[in-house]
Amino acid sequence: AQTIHQWPVAEIKAVGSPLSLGCTIKGKSSPNLYWYWQATGGTLQQLFYSITVGQVESVVQLNLSASRPKDDQFILSTEKLLLSHSGFYLCAWNGDWGQDTQYFGPGTRLLVL
């Protein structure tokens, strides 16, 4: 069975500090990987997706970047956090076919002060 993990579970960071959020998929080779963001009480905003190692497509950047260093790993980062980065970050995966179901991770809650 496939499992998806996100780390950390939650973070409190200062404005201007760097950030790195991680996501790992186990039990699935060559997944499509996605990053989403939700403001508190807000809608699901797609940020990035990756179909293969080393390749990342940007949907909405929000002064963030993403990388896929390994087949099973997807990283979201920034060198300087903004207050507007606060929210809930979700990683998701689906299979080889674009119409496959998306499976979401448990999320990382970020508060920027």
Partner 1 sequence: GDSVTQTEGQVALSEEDFLTIHCNYSASGYPTLFWYVQYPGEGPQLLFRASRDKEKGSSRGFEATYDKGTTSFHLRKASVQESDSAVYYCALSDNNNNAPRFGAGTKLSVKP
- Residues forming the site for partner 1 (CB under 8 A): 32, 34, 43-44, 46, 49, 51, 57, 59, 90, 92, 94, 96-107
Which one, 8 or 18, has the nearer CB to partner 1? Answer: 8
Which one, 79 or 96, has the nearer CB to partner 1? Answer: 96
The H or E element spanning position 42 is none
Nearest-approach distance from CB 79 to partner 1, in angstroms: 25
Nearest-approach distance from CB 3 to partner 1, in angstroms: 13
Nearest-approach distance from CB 17 to partner 1, in angstroms: 24
Judged by DSSP in three states, 106 sits in: coil
Which one, 29 or 101, has the nearer CB to partner 1? Answer: 101
Please give the DSSP secondary-structure letter assigned to residue 85.
G
Which one, 35 or 81, has the nearer CB to partner 1? Answer: 35
Which residues are registered as beta bridge partners of 94? 32
Instruction: Tell me how far apart the 2 most distant CA atoms of the chain are, in Å.
Output: 40
Nearest-approach distance from CB 92 to partner 1, in angstroms: 7
- Per-residue tokens: 26: 């186990």
The Cα–Cα gap between 60 and 65 comes to 10
Which residues are registered as beta bridge partners of 49? 34, 57
